[in-house]
Structure 1
Amino acid sequence: MSLPLEGIKVVEMGQLIAGPFAAKILAEFGAEVIKIEPPITGDPLRKWRLLHDGTSVWWAAQSRNKQSVTLDLRQVEAREVVKRLVKDADILIENFRPGTLEKWGLGWDELSSINPGLVMLRVSGYGQTGPYRDLPGFGVIGEAMGGLRHLSGEPGRTPVRVGVSIGDSLSALHGVIGVLLALRHREQNRGAGQQVDVALYESVFNMMESLIPEYSVFGSVREPAGSSLPGIAPTNAYRCKDGKHALIAGNGDSIFRRLMEKIERLDLADDPELTQNDGRVRHVARIDEAISTWTAERNLDAVLAALQDANIPSGKIYDAADIAADPHYQARDMLLASQLDDGTAVILPGIVPKLTVTPGRVHSRAPTLGQHTDAVLDGIGIDAATREAWRTRGLI
């Protein structure tokens, strides 16, 4: 069965996380992705986090299904190669600071004149326009400006970061959505391409739910609340007898009643003030105390067994070891066995989303630096002698 994006060609000029993560998703669903990296060093992600034999194991997940071509874009001939690749490409992905490609003669005007059907995904800290466009911006800055960092952590303490690069990943997801919309537009409009402008801070801000509407109507500035979810009750992490925590979401009206019955607090279950969420929010401290008292008398496993028996949403807090051992992850193909270049076994994240007819797949391991340079350049008519001369100059 062919994949949805088979026949789609992507030139990836991004580094690190946001742009390459978007390209990874497209590659998993059939797109051909040619990743351009600087010679010698490659994408800096190759050296991030924990390394095996000199290369990040993160690289194995982020760059599977891609081809690696090395080009020193500071040199004119390398930029000409990009133009030749773009000529029959469908998508170009870049996450340089705005204006960088224009300085190289690879901006939208130049590339769209070569290929009017090109879809150009541009990921940056602040977007391609506006007073901040020229400022450097990483995911963590986008998380702060987008409102997420302020809400993270405990009241009165230094805001903490989410433990992963969530700003970059959210931008990648918005980028994929934008690219697919642009491809659909191209189908409907005689092959007309367009730019997809994704800003890190906007991708985070788009997740901020009622943050700005509440401020605009009530002047309310939402503050960090630790493990609870203000305005929705009860939802919290509750300490158990063994020191572990149970996450319990009893915030549906009927769910709340079942929860109170399970913990034998019929006084709260029958209280007319607590039948709907707005009343429960006003009395959340009393509700949390009742739940905490009940969980404190039981180990986590007993708590979860009781709550699941009553059909109450609940769970434990997973770490990497929990995930790796979990049968549901395994049943859903979310833990894919693979190998690193030297044969070392590695488990990689599975593919999301799950399509029932044309599911994504992994067809090749993450490439070594420049692994496909000769094949790709040969395919666009650059002969072996030229390639060898360029290699001597450090251009490839």
Structure 2
Amino acid sequence: MTDDERHASEQPQSEPLRGMRIVEMSSYVASPLSGMTLAQLGADVIRIEPLGGAADRTRWPRSQSGTSLLWSGVNKGKRAMAVDLSSERGRELVENLIVGGGPRGGIVISNSERYPDLTYDALRVRRPDLVHVQLTGRRDGGTAVDFTVQAKTGFPQLNGPEGWTQPVNNVLPAWDVAAGLYLTIGLLAAERHRLLTGEGQQVRIALEDVAMATAGNLGYLAEAQVTTPRERGGNYVYGTFGRDFETADGERLMIVALTVRHWRDLLGATDMTDAVSALATALGVDFDDEDERYRHRAMLGGLLAGWFERHTLAESEAVLRHARVLWSTYQSFTDLAADGALLLRDNPLLSELDQPGVGRHLAPGSPVVMDGHQSLPKVSPRVGQHTEEILRAELGLSATELGELIDLGIIGTDGLVDSGALRATRPHA
């Protein structure tokens, strides 16, 4: 079955947002991720870019052809329109696109306030029920990115091995990801309010606020205020028993025992019940108590490490499969990609996608399963791929008008549109 056939066979349950049109003016991770999340649920997301493409189209990692794998990853399933936003005519086209569309339109995602005529205050004059979702770096509108936000949160002081003194940033841009999902939630909440009341709303989310809210919600801020400040713990799981172990053949597993059942099963599987019982008696503690397991994690970890050092990964896995213990082997992204056939067979989230500039590779659809159905991944658009299509269908521009806009350098296409034919349709002077 071809990609087109598979997409055509998707159930409407997997696209509950069909009929919603969103204009996205964004770049990098958080706001594009929000747009893609909505597109994967059926929304028509129109990505506005400058002529030649936005700066994030070349972000690492890149394929051998130079195509950004990051850009391709967070822009799947959108339509792309290339326009010169520095020109008044270009901004007018985007404004008309935003305020038009009837009940399905009037929704914007943006991470820039560069153009005054495309702000919430300017646009709502023409579209009072506008839903305008704005991402900023800081609450005051100042700039910030994930890694500068990380530096302020305190988390880099907890990452890394025990005894390490320098900050360690997380390679995962967690605040970008969380902010993208908050943008999605904010947009859907505002659109729900509009459906109920007919009123538009401005939604503003600061990347820094997302990080601070998370630090507060998970207890990190309160802990720093009312208890002893936390120190680095390496791969130990804070407040319970969990850590990584190296096997006899040099592989590694992560083991977590959250409950008494997990803990007892782990000891039974590794023949450590008697040894740990003797340690508990010597220390005068009860290791069925999660707090005690954490306080004595180094000694307990040392005992268990000896067992794993005597067994290979295969032997360890065979034992753990029969125990009620939370565990997983460590895998690199290369390992994960090498298991492509297994992933395709076992996980309907993933499909093979043939992305121009990248080639065939594993790509996820939406992780949201709606009544047993979920959307399949779709390719990311080329620069200006849908410019003509959007302006014809959404704004009713004629071939003559499109040709003029191309001549003036107001709009761009991906090079596949026959702009010469468009120009040829214009009346001669």
What TM-score comes out, normalization by structure 1 length? 0.89
Q: Distance in 1 between matches of 2:213 and 2:320?
A: 33
The answer on whether the counterparts of 2:235 and 2:244 sit within 8 Å (CA) in structure 1 is: yes
Aligned residue in 2 for 1:20: 32
Give the AA of the match of 1:30.
G
Instruction: Determine which of 121, 124, 137 is the counterpart of 1:125.
Output: 137
**Residues 1-396 of structure 1: pairs in structure 2 closer than 5 A:** 1-2=11-12, 3-87=15-99, 88=101, 89-96=105-112, 99-101=113-115, 104-127=116-139, 129=140, 133-134=141-142, 136-155=143-162, 156-188=164-196, 190-208=197-215, 209-218=218-227, 220-232=228-240, 234-267=241-274, 268=276, 271=280, 273-324=286-337, 325=339, 327=342, 330-341=345-356, 344-362=359-377, 364-379=378-393, 380-396=395-411
Q: Distance in 2 between matches of 1:245 and 1:178?
A: 40
Q: Distance in 2 between matches of 1:27 and 1:91?
A: 13
Note closer, same or farther for the CA distance 1:227–1:329 as it changes in structure 2 (3 Å cut): farther
| Structure 2 residue runs without a partner (length 5+) | 1-10, 412-429
| Structure 1 residue runs without a partner (length 5+) | none
Tell me the CA shift for residue 365 of structure 1. Answer: 2.0
In the TM superposition, structure 1's runs of 4+ consecutive aligned residues that sit over 6 Å from their partners are: none
Alpha-carbon displacement from aligned partner over 1:121-160 (angstroms, at most 9, x marks no partner): 2112113x3xxx32x2111112222333232222324333
Q: Distance in 1 between matches of 2:128 and 2:373?
A: 29
| 3-state SS in 2 of match to 1:55 | coil
The answer on whether the counterparts of 1:23 and 1:93 sit within 8 Å (CA) in structure 2 is: yes
Q: Distance in 2 between matches of 1:166 and 1:322?
A: 23
Alpha-carbon displacement from aligned partner over 1:40-83 (angstroms, at most 9, x marks no partner): 23352344322343322333332221111011211111111121
Q: Distance in 1 between matches of 2:334 and 2:108?
A: 37
Rg larger in 1 or in 2?
2
Cα root mean square deviation, aligned: 2.2
Work out the number of aligned pairs and report it.
383
The answer on whether the counterparts of 2:272 and 2:304 sit within 8 Å (CA) in structure 1 is: no
Note closer, same or farther for the CA distance 1:372–1:192 as it changes in structure 2 (3 Å cut): same
Note closer, same or farther for the CA distance 1:346–1:263 as it changes in structure 2 (3 Å cut): closer
Q: Distance in 2 between matches of 1:302 and 1:143?
A: 40
Tell me the CA shift for residue 213 of structure 1. Answer: 1.6
Fraction of identical pairs, as percent: 26
Give the AA of the match of 2:189.
L
The answer on whether the counterparts of 1:45 and 1:59 sit within 8 Å (CA) in structure 2 is: yes
